[in-house]
Amino acid sequence: MDSANIDTVRPAPDATPELVKADVKALVSLCEPDMVDINALITARMQSEVAVIPALAAHLIAAGGKRLRPLLCVAAARMCGTTNTHHHNFSAAVEFIHTATLLHDDVVDSSQLRRGKVAAHLIWGAPSSVLVGDFLFARAFELMVETGSLRALDILSKASAIITQGEVLQLMKAFDLTLTQADYIEIISSKTAALFSAASESGAVASGASEEKIKALYSYGMNLGLAFQIQDDILDYQGDAADLGKNAGDDFAEGKSTLPLILAMAATSGSDAAFWERTVGKREQKPGDFQHAQGLMISSGALDAARAVARGYADKARAALSLFDQGPWRQALESLAVYSVERQT
C-alpha cells in the first residue's frame, strides 16, 4: 500500500458529500453492456470436465454479490477512454480472485453462510472448496496472460499475494487485545483494499492511461476498499443475516479485532473492559455475549467513530477523482464512494 497516495489526498472542491447520492445503480447501468460480456466470460472460464468445479464455483458466483471489483475495472477503463476490451479479461480475473479468497476464507473461518446461501464447504467439504478456489486463481492468471499486458499481470499477481498475507496476518492476530488502529488498517489494506485498487488500476492500465491517471485510480480504489471494509466491520455488529447474506457477529465470535472493537475497547473501563478481556482476550464467550457487545458498541460511540473513519476514506477516494473531468463515469464512482459507507448490506 502506498500510504502517501492514501493520506495526503484532499476532498474534491467541486463535489461536496451532500451533493453526491449514495448509489451503486448508476455505475451498474453504465457498466451493463460490458458486464454482459464479462459475465459470459466468467461463466465460460469456470467450466471444467471435473463436474464439481463448475458446480461449486457457480454456487457462490451465481449467488449474486455486488460485483464491485469488476465494475471498478470497467469504470476505470471507460473513464480513461479505452479502445479495447482487455478490461473484460481483467474484470473476470478480479472476480475469480475475489471468489477464490471467499472460498478459502469460509473454510478458515468455518463460516455458515455466504451471500445468503449455505457456505460451499458445508456442501462439498473443505478440501473441494480450497481446491476450487485454487482453480479459480489459475483461471484468473490465464485471463491476465491472454491480454499480453505484463503490467496488469504484475498488478494483479502482487495483489493476490498481498491479500493472502493480509488474511494470514488477521488470522495470527485473532483474539489479540493489543492490536492497534494502525495494525487494523494494515490488515484491511492487504486483505480487502488491495484488490479494489488492483481492479481500478488495471482498468486504467488496460486503457493506456497516463501515469497520473493510473495513480489516481489506484488511490481511489485503495481508499474505497478501506471505507468499504470498515463499513463491513460495522455491519457485523449492527446488521442481520437477512441483509448481510452472512451471520452477524461472526467477527466477534472469531475474535477479529476490527475497528469497532478496537474503538469500543479504548472507550470502556471497569466491568466493560473486563467483558472484552474475557470474551476476546481469554476467548471465553457464552450465550448473550454478542448482544451485550452490540450494546457496548452503541453506548461507547464506537460504531459512530468507526463510521467517521470510513467516511474519511470515502472522501479521499472521491478526492482522487478530481483529476478527471466531470461526467457520468466520475459521478458514478463518486456515488459509489458514498454508498460504500452508507450501505446496510
| Domain harbouring 176, CATH code | 1.10.600.10
Contacts of 102 (CB under 8 A, 6+ apart): 60, 114
Is 6 among the domain residues? no
Residue 9 lies in a domain: no
**Residues in CB range of 312: below 8 A, 6 or more apart:** none
Amino acid making up residue 95: E
CA distance 196 to 102: 15
Nearest to 102 by CA among 227, 36, 195: 195
* Residues ≥6 apart with Cβ < 8 Å to 55: 124
Find the domain containing 338 and state its range: 16-342
- The reported pTM is 0.90
Determine the pLDDT at residue 8: 30
pLDDT per residue, tens digit, the chain (345 aa), is 443 333 333 333 333 444 456 788 999 999 999 999 999 999 999 999 999 999 999 999 987 778 999 999 999 999 999 999 999 999 999 999 999 999 999 999 888 888 878 999 999 999 999 999 999 999 999 999 999 999 999 999 999 999 999 999 999 998 999 999 999 999 999 999 999 999 999 999 999 999 999 999 999 999 999 999 999 999 999 877 656 666 788 899 989 999 999 999 999 999 999 999 999 999 999 999 999 999 999 999 999 999 999 999 999 999 999 999 999 999 999 999 999 999 987
Which of 65, 78, 94, 63 is CA-nearest to residue 32? 78
48 neighbors 56 (Cβ within 8 angstroms) = no
In the chain, the number of structural domains is 1
Q: Which three cell numbers mark 192?
A: 480487502
Question: In the chain, what is the straight-line distance between the N-terminal and C-terminal CA atoms, in Å?
Answer: 26
Decide if 2 is inside a domain: no
Residue 265: Cβ-neighbour burial (10 angstroms; 0-12, 13-18, 19+): buried
Q: Has residue 11 been placed in a domain?
A: no
Supply φ then ψ for residue 22, to 5 degrees. -75, 105
Under 8 Å between Cβ of 9 and 337: no
